[in-house]
């Protein structure tokens, strides 16, 4: 079940003081979701409820120093507000959009925010805020959010994927976010499902992302229409002032357009093929799918589940549930806070 929202406004500072108290002390963590467009902050309690939130635009800050200054001032203000409202802040968790050395809290680089190469984010923030800080990549953080507070509750082995322009992934194994020794694990999007297949953004051929990522999906639809495939999409694009998006293809599929139904079925089958392999390797209890491409219900979940049943070993296929993500836009900051709770032992692996 989704934890109840105690505040839902985006931006602006909203304080609520009615969150549950345990043993007289209200524990909380500051979760920070750094995105290419905006940075979201939230004061989050161990139940995943957001007591206080704020956000600012990433692009409005000049360079790394400017963004760091804004991060520090927001975290300090959150700390003060939290203390005034009777919370004990256990630490700061950061979800960051790029490869991270999780142990050192070092940002290798951000693909979409310039100037962050080799930034010791944990060290800088700890010395400037005097709070313990944990940093992980955004895909892992979202997996942790779903594991603790969303669709993964009650399972110890979870694969959580965000299906958007690309595919982001996080693996929770035996109750722990799995990163690997170089913190590069969980790149589910780059599982190769066809050795001589489509070219992927990573430079390889046949990665599942080259079939299921939103950008590749649209490229393929366009190529097929150009080759003369018959679809209601052609007339929609001619007569309506609309862009070709996965959502539009989903609408056409729901209206019974055979071309659109086929392309969604194929997309689900490609993803299902990669996931069937993962089921054989990891025997997960749950596979959680979120992000724009997963928002089209049965169109994607139907063929994914059917393909896993067909291709994974029956024992692994029987024990996995494929479910939609629950946390939506809050997953990033709630999961960042979960980094603190899991490292502080406030939420034990179940």
Query: Interface residues with Zn ion (CB under 5 A)?
Result: 190, 200, 202, 204, 207
Contact 290, 163 (CB under 8 A): yes
Kindly tell me which of 202 and 349 has the beta carbon lying closer to Zn ion: 202
Residue keyed to tokens 């002390």: 25
Please check whether residue 6 is in contact with residue 49, taking contact to mean a CB–CB distance below 8 angstroms: yes
Distance CA 106, CA 13 (A): 29
- Dist. CA 128–CA 138, nearest whole Å: 23
Cβ nearer to Zn ion, comparing 81 with 187:
187
Closer to Zn ion by CB, 202 or 223: give it: 202
Q: How buried is 154 (Cβ within 10 angstroms: 0-12 exposed, 13-18 middle, 19+ buried)?
A: exposed
Q: Choose between 8 and 184: whose C-beta lies nearer to Zn ion.
A: 184
Q: Is the Cβ of residue 194 or residue 283 nearer to Zn ion in the bound state? A: 194
Closest to Zn ion by CB, 64 or 190? 190
Residue 281 vs residues 56, 172, 277: alpha-carbon distances, Å: 41, 14, 6
The least CB distance from residue 205 to Zn ion, in Å, is 8
Q: Which residues contact 247 (CB under 8 A, 6 or more apart)?
A: 292, 295, 296
Query: Least distance (Å) from Zn ion to the CB of residue 136?
Result: 21
Q: Considering beta carbons, is residue 165 or 204 the nearer one to Zn ion?
A: 204
Residue 242 Cβ vs Zn ion, minimum distance, rounded to whole Å: 30
SS3 347: coil
| 201 in Cβ contact with 211 (< 8 Å) | no
What gap in Å lies between CA 338 and CA 346, rounded to an integer? Answer: 9
Compute the least distance from the CB of residue 28 to Zn ion, in Å: 38
CA distance 287 to 36: 26
Ramachandran assignment for 186, one of left (phi > 0), alpha (psi -120 to 50 degrees), beta (any other): left
Closer to Zn ion at the Cβ: 102 or 200? 200
Residue 171: CB minimum distance to Zn ion, A = 17
Pair of tokens at residue 271:
């993803």
* Smaller CB separation from Zn ion, 152 or 189: 189
To Zn ion, the closest distance from the beta carbon of 66 in angstroms equals: 33
Note the residue count of the chain. 350
Sheet holding 321-324, edge to edge: 176-177, 167-173, 158-163, 286-290, 321-324
Q: What is the closest distance, in whole angstroms, from the C-beta atom of residue 97 to Zn ion in the complex? A: 18
CB of 206 to Zn ion, least distance (A): 8
Would you say 232 and 249 are in contact if contact means Cβ atoms under 8 Å apart?
A: no
C-beta of 270: minimal distance to Zn ion in Å? Answer: 13
């Amino acid at each position: 079940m989704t934890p109840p929202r105690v505040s839902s406004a985006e931006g602006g500072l909203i304080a609520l003081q009615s969150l549950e108290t345990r043993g007289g002390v209200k524990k909380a963590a500051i979760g920070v979701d750094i995105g290419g467009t905006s940075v979201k902050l939230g004061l989050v309690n161990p139940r995943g409820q957001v007591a206080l939130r704020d956000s600012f635009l990433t692009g409005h800050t000049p360079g790394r120093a400017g963004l760091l200054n804004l991060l520090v001032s927001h975290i300090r203000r959150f700390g003060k507000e939290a203390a005034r409202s009777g919370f004990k802040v256990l630490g700061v968790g950061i979800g960051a959009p790029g490869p991270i050395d999780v142990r050192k809290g070092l940002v290798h680089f951000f693909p979409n925010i310039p100037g962050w190469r080799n930034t010791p984010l944990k060290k800088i923030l700890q010395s400037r805020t005097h709070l313990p800080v944990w940093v992980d990549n955004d895909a892992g953080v979202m997996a942790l959010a779903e594991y603790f507070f969303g669709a993964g509750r009650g399972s110890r082995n979870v694969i959580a994927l965000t299906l958007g322009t690309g595919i982001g992934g996080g693996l929770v194994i035996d109750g722990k976010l799995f990163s690997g020794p170089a913190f590069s694990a969980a790149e589910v999007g780059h599982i190769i499902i066809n050795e001589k297949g489509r070219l992927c953004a990573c430079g390889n051929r046949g990665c599942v992302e080259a079939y299921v990522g939103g950008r590749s999906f649209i490229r393929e639809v366009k190529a097929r229409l150009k080759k003369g495939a018959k679809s209601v999409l052609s007339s929609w694009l001619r007569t309506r002032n609309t862009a070709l998006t996965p959502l539009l293809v989903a609408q056409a599929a729901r209206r019974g357009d055979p071309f659109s139904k086929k392309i969604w079925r194929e997309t689900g089958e490609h993803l299902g093929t990669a996931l069937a392999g993962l089921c054989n390797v990891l025997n997960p209890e749950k596979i959680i799918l979120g992000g724009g491409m997963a928002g089209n219900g049965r169109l994607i979940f139907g063929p994914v589940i059917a393909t896993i049943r067909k291709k994974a070993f029956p024992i692994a296929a029987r024990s996995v549930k494929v479910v939609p993500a629950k946390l939506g836009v809050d997953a990033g900051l709630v999961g960042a806070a979960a980094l603190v709770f899991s490292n502080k032992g406030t939420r034990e692996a179940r």
